[in-house]
Structure 1
Amino acid sequence: MDGISSNLEAIDYIIIAVYMIGVLYIGSYFAKYIHTSGDFFLAGRSLPFWAIGMSVVVSDIGALDLIAGAGGAYDRGLAQANFDWIGSVPALLIAAFIFVPYYWRAGVYTLPEFLGRRYNAATRWVNALVLLVFMLATVSIMLWTSAVFLNQVLDWDHTTAIWITTAIVGCYAISGGLAAVVMTDVLQLVVMFVGTGALLALGLWEVGGWDGMVEKVLAQPGETEDYFRLLVEHKEGTQYPWPGMVFSLGIIMSTAYFVGNQAVMQRALGARSEWDAKAGMITAGLFKMAIPVLVFLPGMAARGIYPDLDSSDAAIPTLIDRLMPPGLKGVMFAAFFAALMSSVDSYLNSCVTIFTGDVYRPLHKRYTGSEMSEKLGLTLGRSLTAFVLVSAAFYAPNFSKSAALYDVIQTLLSLFQGPVLAILLLGIFWRGATAWGGFAGLVLGVGLTSVLNILGDAVFISDDPYLFVSFWSFWASLTVTILVSLVTKKKTAEELEGLVYGSVLSKSTNDN
């Protein structure tokens, strides 16, 4: 598809420029409040619930949902909505009422730190390593997605697009830390909802409304009988079969994502109170209800209007190019950039938090005999943010050969979702879960997911095996953790204080 830079009017460039300046101003504004590593990594534990909820949503949507997610809806139809309606909302409520209170009261910086307290240092390190690999890959994928979009809509070459994005995100993420990330996310969600709402209205108008879209899609050649079904029959070649969506995505993958993903939970850990932490997750769930309508439905409308696109990922850029008038094009471009930057800055900040807190901090204490100073933590955090961002930018072009980036992300998530959820559940609700039981469950679970993802089609009839990998790895990790715990030494009641159900700290602690 040709770039649309020649179709942008002066008003579009003004809107884009105002948005960029606003993001940079808001992000950089919070730099003056950053004095300690706690300020940088957890916003000084001062985040209100509404900012937490909006930030969780916009960081989870990301550029992949606007491009690859809408592209998935273009190809597969209504079943794509399951990733939010089944795969987000229930899990956010579970996170709010069951897991968040324990995380927040423990006063930890990261989820691996929580697992380290509940189990042992080995479990903490393995979890940190897996999350670091996932987050580094995700930042690179997000940067590559931005390059693809900017190439399509502005005709920029991929390298230029990657480095412009890197520079903008770096300006506020390096200086302002989590507070800057969250507050820019608030602006970005507003812009995103305005832009996608306008695109949805124009797309439905062009296709003839819901009835017109149904008529046009069902009249197309090929298998379209399942296009407007939320739950699709499980058969050979089915991409989103209902058992995988309900039992694996709805119960295992989504819960694990929202309770075991540092990029999500870091907002709750930075809340000004436990109430704000829980209310933030509930608020995110309310916003999440609208995502399939605003993001995926335009992709379905594009299928009815332009059924012969060379790539499904071109659905949203094509709608912007051909349907949006001057002014709205600028808003939609800003909306995409909002989605992109919110995902990059979220995973970037969380990646650095884990490396600093779960890798460097323990090593510093082991070899120096003293705790890492706040000044060193802040300096290291900012330096690592720059290093990780630049490294991800250099690696991003390697994902140009990946056909379905959305599926790549889901496959990476499946590596740890099942095992982490298993040991979290047992760790909180069963006092008998031992240090080495949790370690064994995590290691063997991650190993199993790796094997299952490699075998893929040889084991599963679905085109998307990651939907079932998390399910089976969860039960395998649960079983292994229980069996090993039965024959290994349990922790004392004092060691479990505030970390298990029925044992709640009266106030948060922060003995990092």
Structure 2
Amino acid sequence: MEASTLRLDASWVDYLLIAIYFAFVLSIGLVARRSVSTSLDFFLSGRSLPAWVTGLAFISANLGAVEIMGMSASGADLGMPTFHYYWIGAIPAMLFLAVVMMPFYYGSKVRSVPEFMLRRFGPGAHLVNSISFAIAQVLIAGVNLYLLATIINTVLGWPILVSTVVAAVVVLSYITLGGLSAAIYNEVLQFFVIVAALTPLTVLALNKVGGWDGLTAKMTAAGNEGQLSSWPGTSLTQFDSPVWSVVGIIFGLGFVLSFGYWTTNFVEVQRAMASKDMNAARRAPIIGSFPKMFIPFVIILPGMIAAVIVPELSKYKANGGTGGNVTYNDSLLLLMRDLLPNGLLGVAIAGLMAAFMAGMAANISAFNTVMSYDIWQTYVQKDKPDEYYTSFGRWATVVATVIAIGTSLFAGQYSNIMDYLQTLFGFFNAPLFATFILGMFWKKMTPAAGWTGLVAGTLAALFVAILSQDALGAASIGALPLGGQGAAFVAAGAAFVVDIVISVVVTQFSRAKDEAALRGLVYSLTPKADLAGEPVAHAWQSPVKLAGLSLVCVIVLNVIFR
């Protein structure tokens, strides 16, 4: 990994603000440790947290490298089509999770998404899902860790490897101390720090470029006026046909990748499962959807502005994303360098560190839960005392952090980190969603179909990625005219379709589970009373009504910024 040549002119005020923030982070871990007495406390916060806390943590857990650096990079590279990752590729799936799927997760009292797979399909699908999920988390944790290390390198000038180890130790400390509670309360803190950091940067950037009219004029003058419209989004998909671009966005991103990520990814679901009751668990993703739909204005918009007002970046874009000493991943850092005075710079640096720690902590806390419950307890050591699994979870946290230091090496190969992340989601989330949704609504689907569909879908995504131009970096052979995030969309679609087809075929030649064993796991076999949750005192507490309001808001945003 190469060290960045970019340096931020931080003063003692900025360093003081950063030090205060890190002190808060570690103190939360120390306080949270006092409430950890069982493995359920360590891995799921004792299922005791209010909806507003788990709702903000639900969003903050995702507000890591994927959002901050990846989305700002995509904003600089692709423009407004990047908004689809939120309004098409997140909100609908989050609402579906809340209204349809959370009753099954929370009502069944499973401790993880793979454990739900164990009850529905048996050990074959469970083991495949557990292993693939664990691999995905250390790979994605490596992304967050790499980007956190680049911030430390940029501010302090420390070598990337040293910065990586220091960043890893901080995250490791508070998760090992306080488990999921420490991660969640830090994520809530980090959410507010991130907003406080990015809002002033966005305002100053807009003022610098001359407002929306100024940005429009500069992008048009640079020949990028097509990036000022979100549809048909050909810059995002890299499909020449506008029709196929829309299909790719709606099916590949809006359905397969989005639903695969938000409804089955235990990193997110774990936060909602820590809620105090069924309705709180259902409201958590909906509460998170409201800030989620406005986050593009403080992440993507600054990236678009950076591409026209930062000389190095505008030159890099004019050269087709080649040459120079910067990449699209540097967009926010370059804006911070050019626009923020000392003091605000310290807040912004702390905000970026907060985002990357939130993302990595979410990956690590989900990893240690699956490793402890779904792999170690289920297949290796079944009948140990409860404190044994809590201790194992802490050691799993250490192991995952060490592995993440290694996987962070891969992240540095991509000038736009979103290309790498979407490729990973296509491998791991798309086939899981296909198996999940088919098994939840089709009672005849068999255990054999569950694990064979997962394996076949993952291999299909891998096959498409290898044949594409750049989805796997040097490992791609370029036989298919697919590149960038369009390749990830096609790979995800292939994984979904192949998984469904193989599952249907295998079901015809294998035996289904008894219907009595599928209550609470299959929609048609579960009494509606089991899914309803507790009565609510006020209309705004109704998950369905709250989800309806969120859906209306996101439709309005899609129309305004089409």
* TM-score bucket (shorter structure): over 0.9
Q: Find the aligned partners of 2:187 and 2:226 in 1 and give their Cα distance.
A: 35
Instruction: Report the counterpart of residue 371 of structure 2 in structure 1.
Output: 355
Q: Find the aligned partners of 1:233 and 1:85 in 2 and give their Cα distance.
A: 13
Structure 2, unmatched stretches of 5+, are 317-325, 470-478, 532-562
Structure 1, unmatched stretches of 5+, are none
The alignment partner of 2:518 has SS state of: coil
| Residue 287 of structure 1 pairs with residue 291 of structure 2 | yes
Contact 1:238 1:462 (C-alpha < 8 Å) held by counterparts: no
> What is the identity, as a one-letter code, of the residue corresponding to 2:489?
L
> What is the identity, as a one-letter code, of the residue corresponding to 1:209?
G
Q: Find the aligned partners of 1:312 and 1:425 in 2 and give their Cα distance.
A: 36
| Residue 471 of structure 1 pairs with residue 487 of structure 2 | no
Question: Which 10-residue stretch deviates more, 226-235 or 72-81?
Answer: 226-235
Question: Which 10-residue stretch deviates more, 152-161 or 23-32?
Answer: 152-161
Q: Find the aligned partners of 2:65 and 2:466 in 1 and give their Cα distance.
A: 27
| Residue 459 of structure 1 pairs with residue 480 of structure 2 | yes
> What is the identity, as a one-letter code, of the residue corresponding to 1:432?
K
Contact 1:364 1:372 (C-alpha < 8 Å) held by counterparts: no
| Residue 133 of structure 1 pairs with residue 154 of structure 2 | no
Instruction: Report the counterpart of residue 304 of structure 2 in structure 1.
Output: 300
Contact 2:64 2:355 (C-alpha < 8 Å) held by counterparts: yes
- CA displacement 1:8-28 (0-9 Å, x = unmatched): 233222221221111111222
Contact 1:56 1:284 (C-alpha < 8 Å) held by counterparts: yes
Q: Find the aligned partners of 1:233 and 1:209 in 2 and give their Cα distance.
A: 23
Q: Find the aligned partners of 1:165 and 1:461 in 2 and give their Cα distance.
A: 35
After superposition, where does 1:7-22 map in structure 2 within 5 Å?
7-22=9-24
> What is the identity, as a one-letter code, of the residue corresponding to 1:479?
V
Q: Find the aligned partners of 1:276 and 1:37 in 2 and give their Cα distance.
A: 22
Contact 1:226 1:232 (C-alpha < 8 Å) held by counterparts: no
Q: Find the aligned partners of 1:2 and 1:361 in 2 and give their Cα distance.
A: 47
Instruction: Report the counterpart of residue 384 of structure 1 in structure 2.
Output: 396
Contact 2:457 2:499 (C-alpha < 8 Å) held by counterparts: yes
> What is the identity, as a one-letter code, of the residue corresponding to 1:471?
G
Contact 1:123 1:442 (C-alpha < 8 Å) held by counterparts: yes
* Cα shift at 1:42: 0.6
CA-atom RMSD, angstroms?
2.0
Query: Do the aligned partners of residues 443 and 247 (structure 1) sit closer, same or farther apart at CA in structure 2, a change above 3 Å counting?
Result: same
Contact 2:457 2:495 (C-alpha < 8 Å) held by counterparts: yes
> What is the identity, as a one-letter code, of the residue corresponding to 1:446?
T
Query: Do the aligned partners of residues 155 and 179 (structure 1) sit closer, same or farther apart at CA in structure 2, a change above 3 Å counting?
Result: same
1:408 equivalent among 420, 439, 443 = 420
Instruction: Report the counterpart of residue 505 of structure 2 in structure 1.
Output: 483
* Cα shift at 1:399: 3.5
Question: Which 10-residue stretch deviates more, 412-421 or 392-401?
Answer: 392-401
> What is the identity, as a one-letter code, of the residue corresponding to 2:34?
K
Number of equivalent positions: 501
Contact 1:256 1:420 (C-alpha < 8 Å) held by counterparts: yes
Q: Find the aligned partners of 2:374 and 2:129 in 1 and give their Cα distance.
A: 9
- CA displacement 1:228-272 (0-9 Å, x = unmatched): 111235599449933222111101110110111111111122221
- CA displacement 1:149-168 (0-9 Å, x = unmatched): 22223322212211221121
- CA displacement 1:320-354 (0-9 Å, x = unmatched): 11101121101101110110000110000111111
The alignment partner of 1:490 has SS state of: coil
After superposition, where does 1:50-449 map in structure 2 within 5 Å?
50-220=52-222, 223-232=223-232, 234=234, 237-238=238-239, 241-306=245-310, 307-309=314-316, 310-364=326-380, 371-449=383-461
Q: Find the aligned partners of 2:159 and 2:68 in 1 and give their Cα distance.
A: 20
Q: Find the aligned partners of 2:357 and 2:81 in 1 and give their Cα distance.
A: 27
Q: Find the aligned partners of 1:455 and 1:183 in 2 and give their Cα distance.
A: 43
Q: Find the aligned partners of 2:347 and 2:11 in 1 and give their Cα distance.
A: 12
Query: Do the aligned partners of residues 243 and 152 (structure 1) sit closer, same or farther apart at CA in structure 2, a change above 3 Å counting?
Result: farther
Question: Which 10-residue stretch deviates more, 178-187 or 356-365?
Answer: 356-365
- CA displacement 1:440-483 (0-9 Å, x = unmatched): 21111111111111111433545431112112221221122122
Query: Do the aligned partners of residues 2 and 415 (structure 1) sit closer, same or farther apart at CA in structure 2, a change above 3 Å counting?
Result: closer
Q: Find the aligned partners of 2:198 and 2:45 in 1 and give their Cα distance.
A: 29
Question: Which 10-residue stretch deviates more, 240-249 or 14-23?
Answer: 240-249
The alignment partner of 2:315 has SS state of: coil
- CA displacement 1:254-295 (0-9 Å, x = unmatched): 011011111111112222111111100101111111111111
- CA displacement 1:25-56 (0-9 Å, x = unmatched): 12221101111111111111112111111112
Q: Find the aligned partners of 1:402 and 1:29 in 2 and give their Cα distance.
A: 38
- CA displacement 1:46-87 (0-9 Å, x = unmatched): 121111111121121213422232111111101111111111
> What is the identity, as a one-letter code, of the residue corresponding to 1:229?
S
Question: Which 10-residue stretch deviates more, 484-493 or 179-188?
Answer: 484-493
> What is the identity, as a one-letter code, of the residue corresponding to 1:357?
Y
> What is the identity, as a one-letter code, of the residue corresponding to 2:207?
W
Contact 1:3 1:154 (C-alpha < 8 Å) held by counterparts: no
Instruction: Report the counterpart of residue 537 of structure 2 in structure 1.
Output: none
Question: Which 10-residue stretch deviates more, 400-409 or 179-188?
Answer: 400-409
Question: Which 10-residue stretch deviates more, 188-197 or 299-308?
Answer: 299-308
After superposition, where does 1:25-40 map in structure 2 within 5 Å?
25-40=27-42
